Structure 1
Amino acid sequence: MKSVPSHPLSTRLALLAAAGTLLAGCAMRAPAPAAEPPAAGAIAAQGATPAISVPPTSVGTWYDLGAHQAPWMAGDAPVPVDGANAPTRIAGLQREEDGRWMALVITQMAPVAAPCPAPTTLTLPTRGRDGCLRMRRNADFDGWLKNQSAVLWRWLDARGLTSTPREWIAYRAGNLEVHALVDPSLLEPQSRTNEEFLSGGQPGHRWAQQFATAARAAGGVLTVPPFPFAPTLAAPPAPAASKPVVTAPAPTRAEQVRPRPPVLAPRKDRE
């Protein structure tokens, strides 16, 4: 696991959050909020929501997208927070070639425990009795994410974090809710037939189970498990052994030698 650098977008996210809070304050005539959102380190230190530790990978670069006071993202269960008051952290894996966000991980903490949603076809079994794990393989198909988790969709869309296609994984335990939106290529093998597609979801299901386990174990840090189809950073190759230097022979210079004249035999008529 490694720490993640801050991304220029994190400054933009903070400004958007501050602007949204001010607008909400004007509309609702609420007391004036703080001039600046809490710093990322401050929220992590207070233990309000776990920090995010990410696995190394060579498909892009992980960025710390900051800590925020945000609305509760989960739209499929009772909301335990009023307004944009949930301490929230977000980290993103960005592919450098085209700027695509390959993965987003979000942690949120509520002041009280939040009950789980009623089980649906998206609910996955978990090892622990507490908590609820949900997964949607193609989260944006037929506008599902936009309709079912409108707060999450709008919050990401307003910040340009809407790369599709993506899979949605969420886990709730007590007052902690974690979300992951992941490019399918990181969780599933390439499929060419319906049978391959149906069986191809198993690696993603296993990763979702690992994600839920990490959330249950999270104290101050959520340790994101490695993606099954994201190549990890390999160790640098050992330096090649030095080969002996072969010195070419010095160039030769040919010298022409004239042949000696033949010795003539004496003529018999002159003997």
Structure 2
Amino acid sequence: MPCALLTLTACAPLASQQAEYPAGRARLALPAGAWEDLGTSDQAVRLLPQPDGRIALQSRVLGLRGAQQELLAVLRVQTNRGNDWQGPMFWTGSCLPQQGVAVEDATKGSRVRVDCLRFKRWVDGPQWLEKNQPDFARWLLGRKLAVSAPYSYMSYRYATEGGAMVAVDVLADQRLLRPRTRNNEEFLVAGRPALQWGHELAQAVRVSTGMMDGYLAIPPFPYAAAAP
């Protein structure tokens, strides 16, 4: 008999249910895979217009392991520590163009909102991350963590005038985001699945800021990483 029709017997959770982790006010629901919790940290970010304005944030980092325990992806989610943010907030310089990075600014340079997606298709070593995301690079180095190279970098920032804020950074083995290519035509369009994944991630983040429990369902990567 289907579980929904049983009123007196508790139902066991399904194997396909997503693992969940708290991150500040957010409730992260992860896609299927061998995820491991790499820890949390708290931050207090200074913001205008208040001279001594602060916004309390919390980050959680999770890693995805492959069949040989290799690190396929690292996901960092940073969001408000609680639901007690107070606006208005001003956000400046949040979505600047960058050479070699696909940048989409849905707010057209707004100072009171952030809606910024960034995608670096090819990162072949730690130097780029050290230059562009030094705090993230130091965090990984301090824990002796390295994603299989070459990998891609995706980030999404969303913030409102009222003070809601979510930032997601992803380092992912390229096999998770790009199909195998056999010719120039396939190579030229190989980045489309990754950008589509980024758009799905962005939509999930936007939805989460309107949820009391901050439910944030991370979409599954476009591809499963096959053995090298």
- TM-score band, normalised by the shorter chain? 0.5 to 0.7
- Give 1:68's aligned residue: 41
Structure 2 residue matching 1:117: 3-state secondary structure: coil
- Give 2:104's aligned residue: 125
Structure 2 residue matching 1:131: 3-state secondary structure: strand
- Map 1:190-229 → 2, pairs under 5 A: 190-219=180-209, 220-229=214-223
- Alpha-carbon distance in structure 2 between the residues aligned to 1:81 and 1:149: 22
Contact 2:153 2:171 in 1 (8 A): yes
Greater fraction of residues in helix: 1
- Alpha-carbon distance in structure 1 between the residues aligned to 2:79 and 2:155: 13
Pick one of 14, 31, 42 that aligns with 1:55. Answer: 31
Letter in 2 for 1:215: V
Structure 1 residue matching 2:95: 3-state secondary structure: coil
2:65 maps to 1:94: yes
- Give 2:73's aligned residue: 103
- Alpha-carbon distance in structure 1 between the residues aligned to 2:91 and 2:123: 23
100 and 81 in structure 1: CA distance in 2 versus 1, 3 angstrom threshold: farther
Please list the CA deviations of residues 125-150 of structure 1 after superposition, one character each: whole Å capped at 9, or x if unmatched: 36677501001011345822221111
Letter in 2 for 1:120: Q
81 and 187 in structure 1: CA distance in 2 versus 1, 3 angstrom threshold: farther
Please list the CA deviations of residues 202-236 of structure 1 after superposition, one character each: whole Å capped at 9, or x if unmatched: 111111111111111124132111111128xxxxx
- Alpha-carbon distance in structure 1 between the residues aligned to 2:54 and 2:170: 20
Q: Which runs of 5+ in 1 are unaligned?
A: 5-39, 73-79, 232-271
Contact 2:19 2:31 in 1 (8 A): no
How does the TM-score come out when normalised to structure 1? 0.56
- Give 1:160's aligned residue: 144
2:121 maps to 1:137: yes
- Alpha-carbon distance in structure 2 between the residues aligned to 1:71 and 1:151: 15
Contact 1:132 1:171 in 2 (8 A): yes
- Alpha-carbon distance in structure 1 between the residues aligned to 2:124 and 2:44: 21
Contact 2:59 2:78 in 1 (8 A): yes
* CA shift for structure 1 position 81: 7.3
Structure 1 residue matching 2:198: 3-state secondary structure: helix
142 and 54 in structure 1: CA distance in 2 versus 1, 3 angstrom threshold: closer
Structure 2 residue matching 1:218: 3-state secondary structure: helix
Identity value in percent: 29
Contact 1:140 1:146 in 2 (8 A): no
- Alpha-carbon distance in structure 2 between the residues aligned to 1:113 and 1:224: 27
- Alpha-carbon distance in structure 1 between the residues aligned to 2:95 and 2:180: 32
Contact 2:63 2:72 in 1 (8 A): yes
How does the TM-score come out when normalised to structure 2? 0.66
RMSD: 3.0
- Please identify runs of 4+ aligned residues in structure 1 that moved more than 6 A: 126-129
Pick one of 112, 137, 155 that aligns with 1:170. Answer: 155
Contact 2:95 2:103 in 1 (8 A): no
* CA shift for structure 1 position 158: 1.2
194 and 120 in structure 1: CA distance in 2 versus 1, 3 angstrom threshold: same
Contact 1:103 1:183 in 2 (8 A): yes
Across the two proteins, how many residue pairs are aligned to each other?
Answer: 178
